[in-house]
Amino acid sequence: MAQPGTFALWVRAVRPFAYSASLIPVALGGLWAFREGPIDWINFALAIIAGMLFHTGTNLINDYYDFKSGVDREGTLGSSGVLVAKLMPPRQILQGGIVAFILGCLLGFYLVSQAGWPILLLGIIGFLGGFFYTASPFSYKYQALGEIGVFIMMGVLMVLGGYLVQNRPFNWEVILFSLPIAFLVAAILHANDIRDITDDRAARIRTMAILMGRGSAGILYDVMIIAAYAVVALMVALQMLSPWALLVLLTLPLGVKNIKTIHQAQGEKPASLAMMDVATAQLHLSFGVLLCVGMLLARLM
């Protein structure tokens, strides 16, 4: 079988199919600002691109350190697989991650010039959180803090950043608004960790799923999914969101299906969980797109 070309390998390594996890929250932050009045659409687009570049850097650095630490090895299902299959040298992946972060920072500096020091603060937190997700000396993903980090950085802070680049003042309502997508992006990682309990335990790392055990970890997954819908419903009931936001309920069958799959899984490495991270990412994308549509309809109608 012919080896994939350089471009195809980089596409596989950066995993663009996962970009919705960074695109959606930044877009939602911008749309929250749009409901308040006109916005700068150039800043809107640049903030999304910067978020995706930070996401790319995090993915590549994560691949490098997961491979170096033995978390990703033959027979496991994690990351892009290019290093395990020896399709690219590890140093090249590390360099790619650093370049992605540099490009994201350059865009970030422009946004700082437009919206001030809050964007600089969020950028610093995003860079450190993304780089040291698996990089030494912190490697907080390996200390059962992955879900918390992802919840904060790819949920709360990305939504807040998308809002603040529009030169809006800090608003606690935006934090509440960020919680549904934060719960769902954390659920993607949690589903991945539930699937990988056996492999991660063999690699001698700690995840929340390992510490809780499969049964309790499944309950936490339920809470994350249910909480996403509950927060939207609460904000609609309090008239903080338009009823158009309830379009997210169209994704409820997928959420219920995912919950059932998590709890019906049996055995140490159940085949039914092989694609649970992907299924949860599909829920995150569908929920996020419908919430974006609801925000736009509320503004334009």
pLDDT at 6: 87
pLDDT at 266: 75
DSSP conformational letter for 127 = H
Q: Distance between CA 284 and CA 68 in Å, rounded? A: 30
CATH ID of 17-300, from 2.60.40, 1.10.600, 1.10.287, 1.10.3470: 1.10.600
Which residues, at least 6 apart from 39, have a Cβ–Cβ distance to it below 8 Å?
30, 33, 166
* DSSP-assigned states of every residue in 9-20: HHHHHH-GGGTH
Q: Determine the 3-state secondary structure of 21 from DSSP.
A: helix
pLDDT at 79: 77
In the chain the beta strands, taken as DSSP E runs, fall at none
pLDDT at 270: 77
Task: State phi, psi for 206 to the nearest 5 degrees.
Answer: -110, 135
Give, rounded to a whole angstrom, the gap between the first and last alpha carbons of the chain. 54
Q: Distance between CA 295 and CA 153 in Å, rounded? A: 22
Place of tokens 């799923």: 209
pLDDT average per 10 residues of sequence, the chain (301 residues): 77 91 97 95 97 97 94 82 92 97 97 96 96 94 96 97 96 96 97 93 94 95 98 98 97 97 82 89 97 95 81
pLDDT at 181: 98
Tokens representing 287? 């929920």
Which value, in Å, is the radius of gyration of the alpha carbons in the chain? 19
> Angle CA(17)–CA(222)–CA(181) in degrees, nearest 5?
45
pLDDT at 3: 62
Q: Distance between CA 123 and CA 184 in Å, rounded? A: 22
pLDDT at 229: 98
